[in-house]
Amino acid sequence: MPLNKQQIGKQARKNGYKAENIAVWYLRFKGYKILERNFKPPRGSGAGEIDIIASKRNIIVFIEVKSRSHRDIAAESVTERVRARRIKGAEYFLMTRPDLIDKELRFDVILISPGHLPEHIVNAFMCS
């Protein structure tokens, strides 16, 4: 019996959460401190949810986690629209955390695919 839209969404959220857990484990192993997960700016702000916000040394890193059947497909899913919404989300986050405004900022992507270690793309995109 095929899954309905609600079941597909539920499964996607479950898979996404699992991929984020893998990414958090990987980041901690690499010496990152996790500041926040699933930061959600207010609806209607045009800003997108940020999967993981981490720090290392004097850098605040906003991390997009993408999990797909193949790495190439995961990488291609970080579209211009996704990047723009994450940048807006980071701006909103920094408005709520003025203590971090003087830190260096970076946008990374972690790609998750079956049978492979996570692929961490440092400085995957930048604010324009």
pLDDT value for 84:
87
How confident is residue 96, by pLDDT bands cut at 50, 70 and 90? Answer: very high
Question: Facing residues of 10 across strands?
Answer: none
Place of tokens 């095929």: 2
pLDDT value for 7:
80
Domain of 102 in residue numbering reads as 5-125
Q: What is the mean pLDDT of residues 19-26?
A: 94
CATH number of 72's domain: 3.40.1350.10
What is the distance between the alpha carbons of residues 54 and 73, in angstroms, rounded to a whole number? 25
Q: How many CB atoms lie within 10 A of CB 59?
A: 13
Q: What is the mean pLDDT of the chain?
A: 87
Nearest to 54 by CA among 26, 30, 33: 33
**pTM attached to this predicted model:** 0.87
Quote the number of domains for the chain: 1
Summarised one tens digit per residue, pLDDT across range 31-63 is 999 999 999 998 888 888 999 999 999 999 999
Q: Which two tokens stand for residue 44?
A: 């209607």
How confident is residue 1, by pLDDT bands cut at 50, 70 and 90? Answer: low
